[in-house]
Chains A and B, each alone.
Chain A
Amino acid sequence: MSDTVGPLPDDAPYRGLTVSAILHAGIIVLTLITWPRFMDIPEPPVELPVELLPVSDETNIIPMEKLEDIRPPEPEPATEPEPEPRVAVAEPQPEPEPAPIEEVPPPPTPNTEPAPEEDLTTPTPEEAPVEEVTPREKPRPPAPPAEEPDRRSEDDIIAGLTDLEDEDRPRDRAPEERTAPADRTTQGVGAQTGLTVSEIDSFKQQIAPCWNVPAGSRNPEELVVTLRVRLNRDGSLAGMPEYEDIGRVSSSGPAYRAAAESARRAVIQCAPYTLPADRYDSWQEIVLDFDPAAMAGR
């Protein structure tokens, strides 16, 4: 046995090392394999929007007529000032002495400060009848279930209005045609908006004719207005569109307020909207960013 006791064969330690190396490598390999596997599990079924776009949808919308930014070539048209009567008006002023400014006691007296809307509901002590009225309440009948009947009547009015609109609005031309192509697309896809690009485009085209872009403003890029719009299944408004940032509307000065109100008017005026009825869930609430910058340069 003594001869057996001695230094281990040279290869003995290496065997252990080999086994160890193999096992370690195995662990590394397993780890590498299991990692991605585990990672794989929760991968959401993201689909590339590209696959989902029917080509035809891109082009079947009658584009808004792009306004030419040059006035009619002939300068004359709208201006036919009759010099004669003007002079006549001038004559009765006997003396050319420029005293007019004296005679002009600035008419804007007492309360010429623009009365904010809120003021109307609270009669102010001042003798201003302008402020005393509470007109805003009046149009709303005091319907007990508050929301419903009120809203419906408004919708009816608005719906009736849109029927009367002139036909040159793109969406009035062929409602079926506009929605048809969109219907063959899949649900809940793309950027998870539930609407295809063409459907969104169609919606934009429906609003565009009603939106009077604040033109010629100094900083149009600062006039982006965000509205939250709730819609009924028939595409009519389920309430007044809300400003996402009401504080900005009230505090950002007259230009922003005018832009905000113009956007809100557009949403109300162009309702009801035609949207894919089977995906009401995805558009019952829409957030709209009205961005005048692209139009402003025209």
Chain B
Amino acid sequence: MTTMTTTRARETLTREAGNFIRAFAGSFWRNFAISLLVALVVSGITAFAARAELRIRIDEGVMEPVPIAIPDFVAATGNNDVATGLAEVIRGNLERSGLFRPLDPRSFIETTTDINSAPRFGDWRIIQAAALVNGQVTMQDDGRLRVEFRLWDVYAEQQMVGLQFFTTPENWRRVGHLISDAIYERLTGESGYFDTRIVFVSEQGPKTNRVKRLTIMDQDGFNPQFLTNGRYLVLTPRFNPTAQTITFMSYLNERPRVYIFDLETGREEILEGFTGMTFAPRFSPDGNNVVMSMARDGNSDIYLMDLRTRQTRRITSDPSIDTAPSFSPDGTQITFESDRGGSQQLYVMNADGSNPRRISFGEGRYATPVWSPRGDLIAFTKMSGGSFGIGVMRPDGTGERMLTRSFLDEGPTWSPNGRVILFTRQAPNGPTYVYSIDLTGRNERRLLTPGEASDPAWSPLIK
């Protein structure tokens, strides 16, 4: 029995041991295989990681004007005035933008004599020019002026853009603006705004007897022309999308009404069909409609007039003051100011008047909202704490940011690229001028106007 037991036990033991060894062996090999695999993967990852490239995130830089060298253009046929003038126009434009720092020509080492050969880049790097503009003016046999230029990346030693223009000689300033736009666009990636005009109300004479005339000029202050004779008051001029027509409000014949003015023909026309006083007009993005306010019996509402059919349509019908309408660039929405909530605030509604919603919620009152041409922001005037400022916010009301503040800043208008804002600034008991401010809140400057000025409107890019 003992033997049996022992034998059985031994058998059992042997079987179990075999199982164990088999199991162990199985588990060993399985483990070994898995471990080998793991080892390979891990060592592979390690090796990869060890050789992983050094990757660095650069999230800090400067916001400084780009140093750019713009030598006088080469006068191939002796048109020295134009050649010098073109470089001056371009330098002035780029400098005023605040994004460029044209370098003093006296610091230039290389004298450009032939724009069709590559510059000596080293000479320009020494004076720290990041970009170089070489240009040439040639009077052609057909009496036209040929202006060509090249923009060079001094550090990469590459041409960034090269263009030529043909024009009548007296039109050379405009070519300067077009070249400025090309340079601006290439270096900033945004469209330029130099080949544009600004319409505004120029103010002359003593405060008691002000002569206010509608005036138009190039964006850099040149070629100012009076559009009205100053015998009646004009306010809030606005361009249509082709910069050919202006709509404004005037007190002609003591009737405050909205007019349109054709720049080409000089023809002025009242937008009839309203029973009350009309004001605060603005074109729709397609140029076919004018949206404006009409006041009657102490109530102001927003109306739309189709310029082709002269049909009018009422957009708002709230018993409060709704005014200062401005279309979104896609034409689907309108921002406006209203006191329907008890105080003067900004609203956005669909272009047909549906779904109005308040977007301004800060302290103070808000007025004159203007939708940016690039659609991302709405500029406005804000009154709070006894002073006025120009600010921007997103169309949903978020991201409010004040750009200026003073005794009286009001009436913003956008540059066609949505980058710069013009506004009227009046000093206490002082003069009234138009100022510009960059969207970043930098580069505040006074616009070059002949005398005092207010109510600016920036034209779209002239096509």
Residue numbers of A with Cβ under 8 A of B are: 4, 8-9, 12, 15-16, 19-20, 23, 26-27, 30-31, 34-35, 38-39, 41-44, 64, 67, 69-72, 75-76, 78-79, 81, 83, 86-87, 89-90, 93, 96-112, 114-115, 117, 120, 128-133, 135-136, 138-139, 157-158, 161, 164-165, 188, 192-195, 200, 203-205, 207-218, 240, 253-259, 261-266, 268-269, 282-283, 285-295, 298
Q: List residues of chain B with CB within 8 A of the CB of A67.
A: 62-63
Give, as a whole number of angstroms, the nearest-CB distance from B114 to chain A. Answer: 10
Which of B63, B120, B150, B447 contacts A215, CB < 8 Å? B63
Q: Is the CB of A200 within 8 A of B56?
A: yes
Q: Is the CB of B116 within 8 A of A129?
A: yes
With A27-B24, A130-B163, A193-B52 already in contact, the answer to whether A295 and B60 are too (CB < 8 A) is: yes
Residue numbers of B with Cβ under 8 A of A are: 1, 4-5, 8-9, 12-13, 16-17, 19-20, 23-24, 27-28, 31-32, 34-35, 38-40, 42-43, 45-46, 49-50, 52-64, 66, 99, 116-118, 120-122, 125-126, 128, 130, 147-148, 150, 153, 155-168, 171, 174-175, 178, 182, 185-190, 216-217, 221-227, 243-244, 263-264, 266, 374, 376, 404, 406, 418-419, 425, 435, 437-451, 462-463
| Closest chain B residue, CB of each to CB of A1 | B1
Chain A CB within 10 Å — which of B50, B56, B128, B435 has the most?
Answer: B56
With A107-B175, A130-B150 already in contact, the answer to whether A101 and B19 are too (CB < 8 A) is: no
How many pairs of residues, A versus B, come closer than 8 Å at their CB atoms? 331
Give, as a whole number of angstroms, the nearest-CB distance from A114 to chain B. Answer: 5
| Closest chain B residue, CB of each to CB of A27 | B23
A27 CA to B162 CA in the complex, in Å?
Answer: 80
| Closest chain A residue, CB of each to CB of B150 | A130
Which of A44, A104, A212 contacts B62, CB < 8 Å? A212
| Closest chain A residue, CB of each to CB of B175 | A107
A130 CA to B435 CA in the complex, in Å?
Answer: 38
Give, as a whole number of angstroms, the nearest-CB distance from B74 to chain A. Answer: 12
Q: Is the CB of B227 within 8 A of A34?
A: no
Q: Is the CB of B224 within 8 A of A90?
A: yes
| Closest chain A residue, CB of each to CB of B35 | A38
With A67-B63, A208-B60 already in contact, the answer to whether A19 and B189 are too (CB < 8 A) is: no
Which of A12, A97, A213 contacts B8, CB < 8 Å? A12
Which of A26, A254, A269 contacts B190, CB < 8 Å? A254
Q: Is the CB of B223 within 8 A of A100?
A: yes
Give, as a whole number of angstroms, the nearest-CB distance from A11 to chain B. Answer: 10
Q: Is the CB of B442 within 8 A of A71?
A: yes
With A93-B225, A254-B190 already in contact, the answer to whether A19 and B13 are too (CB < 8 A) is: yes
Q: Is the CB of A98 within 8 A of B263?
A: yes
Q: List residues of chain B with CB within 8 A of the CB of A38.
A: 31-32, 34-35, 38
Q: List residues of chain B with CB within 8 A of the CB of A69.
A: 440-442
Q: Is the CB of A42 within 8 A of B168?
A: no
A49 CA to B157 CA in the complex, in Å?
Answer: 41
Q: List residues of chain B with CB within 8 A of the CB of A161.
A: 125-126, 128
Q: Is the CB of A108 within 8 A of B178?
A: yes
Which of B17, B187, B376, B448 contacts A86, CB < 8 Å? B448
Chain B CB within 10 Å — which of A117, A165, A210, A216 has the most?
Answer: A216
A43 CA to B442 CA in the complex, in Å?
Answer: 55
Which of A64, A75, A104, A285 contacts B60, CB < 8 Å? A64
Q: Is the CB of B160 within 8 A of A75?
A: no
Give, as a whole number of angstroms, the nearest-CB distance from A294 to chain B. Answer: 4
A165 CA to B126 CA in the complex, in Å?
Answer: 9
Q: Is the CB of B118 within 8 A of A282?
A: no
A72 CA to B53 CA in the complex, in Å?
Answer: 43
A298 CA to B53 CA in the complex, in Å?
Answer: 31
| Closest chain A residue, CB of each to CB of B149 | A130
Give, as a whole number of angstroms, the nearest-CB distance from B248 to chain A. Answer: 14
24 A-B pairs within 8 Å (CB atoms) are namely A4-B4, A23-B16, A30-B24, A31-B27, A31-B31, A38-B38, A44-B46, A86-B222, A86-B449, A87-B451, A100-B223, A104-B171, A104-B462, A107-B178, A135-B150, A139-B121, A192-B49, A209-B62, A212-B61, A215-B99, A269-B155, A283-B54, A286-B55, A295-B61
Q: Is the CB of A287 within 8 A of B148?
A: no
Q: List residues of chain A with CB within 8 A of the CB of B226.
A: 96
Q: Is the CB of A192 within 8 A of B50?
A: yes
Q: Is the CB of B55 within 8 A of A27?
A: no
Name 19 extra pairs, CB < 8 A, besides A35-B31, A129-B116: A23-B20, A34-B31, A38-B31, A42-B39, A75-B406, A87-B451, A101-B263, A104-B462, A108-B178, A112-B163, A117-B158, A120-B159, A135-B159, A164-B126, A212-B61, A217-B190, A254-B185, A254-B189, A287-B56
Q: List residues of chain A with CB within 8 A of the CB of B441.
A: 69-71
| Closest chain A residue, CB of each to CB of B147 | A107
Q: Is the CB of B157 within 8 A of A99?
A: no
| Closest chain B residue, CB of each to CB of A93 | B225
A265 CA to B61 CA in the complex, in Å?
Answer: 12
Q: Is the CB of A214 within 8 A of B189?
A: yes
Give, as a whole number of angstroms, the nearest-CB distance from A8 to chain B. Answer: 7
Give, as a whole number of angstroms, the nearest-CB distance from B389 to chain A. Answer: 12
Q: Is the CB of A129 within 8 A of B148?
A: yes
Q: Which 6 A-B pairs have the closest CB atoms?
A: A258-B189, A211-B61, A255-B189, A38-B35, A107-B167, A79-B446
Give, as a whole number of angstroms, the nearest-CB distance from B330 to chain A. Answer: 15
A98 CA to B447 CA in the complex, in Å?
Answer: 21
